[in-house]
Amino acid sequence: MNFTLNILGTASALPTVNRYPSAQVLDVRGRLFLIDCGEGVQVQIRKCRLSILKIESIFITHLHGDHTFGVFGLLSTMSMLGRKAPIDIYAPAAFAKVLEDFMASFGEGMKFEPVHHPVSATEPQLIHETGNLEILAFPLRHRIETYGYLFREKTPRKNVRKEIIERDGLTLAEIAMLKRGEDVTRQDGTVILNSEAAYQPYEPRSYAYCSDTMPFPQLSDWVRGVDLLYHEATFPNEYADLAKVTFHSTTGDAAGCALSAGVGKLVVGHYSSRFSDVSFYLDELTSVFPASCLGHEGMKIDIPLKRYQ
């Protein structure tokens, strides 16, 4: 029942000797979702001991090179490794031309289909779901069309307490009603309250990815209460003017969003190449939002399952 973030790259614009461009893999119960796909992503996937062939969907925030240049090599490698299942790529509409050019030049003999799903949203919007997960896109505020992504487990069906099943001799139909959250009313007028007989087995987990963006008021509402928030922090606070001009965020912006949204934990990245050492970012973050950490290549953050009885 794992829900684990794997950080592959934390650089902005220019890669450095210690940092790769933006890319992350979110592992939800063994299903792998790639978020952004900067150059060098294949190497980082292997270093993190993840399977390239198990990636089932790709989510691209925007069409700047440090977030997309890894797509071409990754798709080629998937083909060489024998992938046959289609792969869904969620990205702004302009990605269609990029994918078309790639397939025209390098797609001959490819045994699977990359399927582009254009993303367009003015507020959080469901774009993909599995049996136990919802994925929403929401607009960010950058120089070009850009989206963030929210990964949220669905509320699980309730469990019925074993002692109630035995005590009241519940039938299969009654158990099903309780699992759906309903009360049970028997023919003799006896009522078995759902609040007493059933319980939610665990708390759904959530992760929000806020790539290149300047701060704006709605963002904290859209990521409110997530267990883990990734928010870019390209610049330290002293570069606030430059951040504003380039439509990026500072450490203070990222921490302020986390505080306002009431998230469980904040992790940052997308560091400016001006700084070979960003350890001083941490003091600026924790002074506003104590539950902050600096993302780094190879970092794994697990969101544990909170079970109930």
Structural contact between residues 38 and 69, judged by C-beta atoms closer than 8 angstroms:
yes
Q: Is 66 a catalytic residue?
A: yes
Q: Which residue in 279, 275, 263, 205 sits closest to 231, CA to CA?
A: 263
Q: Give this prediction's pTM.
A: 0.92
Structural contact between residues 122 and 139, judged by C-beta atoms closer than 8 angstroms:
yes
Catalytic residue, chosen from 66, 212, 227, 253, is: 66
Structural contact between residues 191 and 163, judged by C-beta atoms closer than 8 angstroms:
no
Q: What percent of the chain has pLDDT over 70?
A: 100
**For residue 142, pLDDT beyond 90:** yes
Q: What percent of the chain has pLDDT over 90?
A: 80
Q: Encode pLDDT of 195-252 as tens digits.
A: 888 888 889 999 999 999 999 999 999 999 999 999 999 999 999 999 999 999 999 9
Q: Encode pLDDT of 156-190 as tens digits.
A: 888 888 888 888 778 888 778 888 888 888 888 88
Q: Which residues pair with 3 in a beta bridge?
A: 28
Structure confidence at residue 309 (pLDDT): 63
Domain 3-156+200-302: which CATH class?
alpha beta
If one counts every other C-beta atom within 10 angstroms of the C-beta of residue 221, the result is 12
Mean per-residue pLDDT over the chain, rounded:
94
**For residue 308, pLDDT beyond 80:** no
Structure confidence at residue 189 (pLDDT): 80
Domain ranges of the chain: 3-156+200-302, 159-198
